[in-house]
Amino acid sequence: MNLLIFRHKFTLFMATSKLYQERIKALKKEYERLRKGKESLLKLLDEAELSESVYNSNAIENSTLTLPETEKILLEMEVTRKVSLREVFEAKNLARVMEYLTSKDTQNLDNEFILLLHKMLLGNINDEFAGRFRKAGEYVRVGTYIAPPPEFIEQYMKDLLIHFQTDSDAYFLDKIVDFHLQFEHIHPFCDGNGRIGRVLMNFQLRQIGFPPLIIRNKEKQAYYKALRAYDGRKNEKPMGKILALALLESLHKRVAYLKGTKIISLSEFAKKKREKLPTLNNAAKRQTIPAFREKGVWKTGSGF
């Protein structure tokens, strides 16, 4: 069965609500206005965020490394406890892939490029699987979901890429949500599907001028539930909400820094403004206030 025919028959196309679309549009306009002449600041923000991005993506895949341990590994510092060599390479390799992609905004997204990223990700971890799709006899299961047979993967991936590149009418985030869900549904690799899928969504965002987002380990259960919602009912809306909120948070963070205002914790802000912290935390989670997380702590610009 052609994967695209299957998708067109069952997929809910509007993954991102109109409300989120309007908020993203307004915030992106402000981001574009403020970023002029400040590319060096944006680069510093990306670099400072690297360890968080690596930690969260690996933690979603059950890595036992903490954020401080991930930071130390990326800085070539000694970790106090004994950690597995695999987890060290998982952190270093994923950081390498993320850094590599920051300079590839004009790169055409095709199977060859995706396989290169996968080879970088699994190098020194599992060289037998690195840089290739699943082959005959290699089946994978995620929970109760069994991914398509390996003999169909290459064509499914080609169909997916063609659809993403030629569907010019869909809202940009709906396209990225759809691609991510389809990619994880195909599960083209024996290992590394989730991490490659998440770096690809940020690559797609960068290509159209958006900052990267972070799907955090704290939202792991909601993220897996959204994947199951697609595998079971072809419902893209749960993943659409997760990505929309993450993108709003990323934009809020960069706008706050670009404005040059003092960055303070939300708890400090609550004390100064005599606001209830639980109320502010809930608003931050809904992204109805300009709040963002750094190392798991909710923060905002003091001028908000």
pLDDT in tens, the chain (304 residues): 455 444 544 444 689 999 999 999 999 999 999 999 999 999 999 999 999 999 999 999 999 999 999 999 999 999 989 999 999 999 999 999 999 999 898 899 999 999 999 999 999 999 999 999 999 999 999 888 899 999 999 999 999 999 999 988 899 999 999 999 999 999 999 999 999 999 999 999 999 999 999 999 999 999 999 999 998 889 999 999 999 999 999 999 999 999 999 999 999 999 999 999 999 999 999 999 999 999 999 999 988 7
CA distances from 145 to 11, 184, 230, 234 (A): 17, 11, 11, 13
| CB contact at 8 A, 58 and 70 | yes
Supply the pTM of this predicted model.
0.94
Are 71 and 206 found together in one domain?
yes
CA distances from 257 to 45, 175, 251, 253 (A): 9, 29, 10, 6
Look up residue 128 and give its DSSP letter.
T
Are 127 and 166 found together in one domain?
yes
Domain hosting residue 79, numbered range: 3-260
CATH code for position 191: 1.10.3290.10
Number of structural domains, the chain?
2
Are 105 and 212 found together in one domain?
yes
